[in-house]
Amino acid sequence: MLVATVFTILLCTQAVAGEPGAASAARLQGTFLQLTAAHRDWQPADWTKLFGYFKELRLTQLVIQWTVYDDLAFFPAPEYQQVAQPPLTTIMRLADAAGLKVWVGLAHDPGFWEKIRREPKLVEIYLRRVQLRDEAVAERLAPQLRDHPSFRGWYIPEEVDDINWQEAPAQEVLFAFLRDLTTYLHKLTPGTTVAVSGFGNGRTDPRTFGRFWQSLLGVSAIDTVFFQDGIGAGKLKLDELTFYLGALRQAVQTQSRELQVVVELFRQVSERPFRAQPASWELVRRQLEIASRFATGGILAFSVPEYMTPLGGPEADKLFNAYLDYTKPSW
């Protein structure tokens, strides 16, 4: 871990003194929803049950991670394969009724991480294709979404890490991609916001990490950054997380943007294929308390449906009830 000593001391001091958000306020505002082929046969009653759990948890925000995965669409679109019961309309209707605010994800290519490891010219060509596809999906969805009061804006599924964009030529390609796509999305649906997520692997020191994000936000029209805490995936440890969140918070505030921290509710047990199980409540509680010190726009979970509702099995049900007990009013 590359951590500058002076910067570390500064961030530790900030974390103890004067950061907003006491432990009593360390609660979730929302969750990601990752649509998969497993949702192909869900009926409206299944979605209603899920939103009932969201209500019990008092969630107010929802991020649909993507609406197209590879060639599978979760809304009616003849150019893509279709699930039997396209769920997007049902999800938005339930979100309207529940008073949730929703970011709608665009298209995700499962080969993204492999393709961005190539030399910058090839990555530039690839990201141009990604941009055109995202714009086409957004253009198709916009007329449907404008009528939903729950529609807060767009989520770009291409996540930003701290490994693949360290060199200047790669950064230029990424910055151009996000500049052009976010500008397009704001013009398509004025008054909405655009969000992107990122995470750290501890491969750059916090100061460099913060400068990178400040530069990225400076050239793009990103409104909200979702930072995945990396605890469940084993990318960062709890004491390391505060350093990176401190640096990112400063970068986001400098550019007058919003930071939401994504608490990973899982513990990864296998990388390939990815397998995970619900984390312990004690660990999640500590993650929440750290997140509350740095988030300026709320705390999200990844993700409530699988890891913090009875739908996810006995351990997820246990975490669900532990969280409800933790957030229960004391009077």
Q: Is the pLDDT of residue 16 over 70?
A: no
In this predicted structure, what is the pLDDT of residue 25?
Answer: 56
Is the pLDDT at 132 greater than 90, yes or no? yes
Place 207 in a pLDDT band, splitting at 50, 70 and 90. very high
Range 2-25 average pLDDT:
39
Reported pTM: 0.92
Query: How much of the chain is in helix, strand and coil states, percent to nearest 5?
Result: 50, 20, 35
List all residues 6 or more positions away from 326 whose beta carbon is below 8 Å from its beta carbon. Answer: 281, 285
For residue 2, how many other CB atoms are within 10 A of its CB? 11
Predicted confidence (pLDDT) per residue in 273-287, tens digit:
889 999 999 999 999
Q: Does the pLDDT at position 89 exceed 50?
A: yes
With tokens 């990318």, the residue in question is 235
User: How is the chain split into domains, by residue range?
Assistant: 5-303
Nearest 5°: phi and psi at 183? -60, -45
Count the alpha carbons within 13 Å of 273 in the hemisphere toward its beta carbon. 1
Superfamily of 5-303 according to CATH: Glycosidases (3.20.20.80)
pLDDT tens digits for 23-64?
455 999 999 999 999 998 899 999 999 999 999 999 999 999
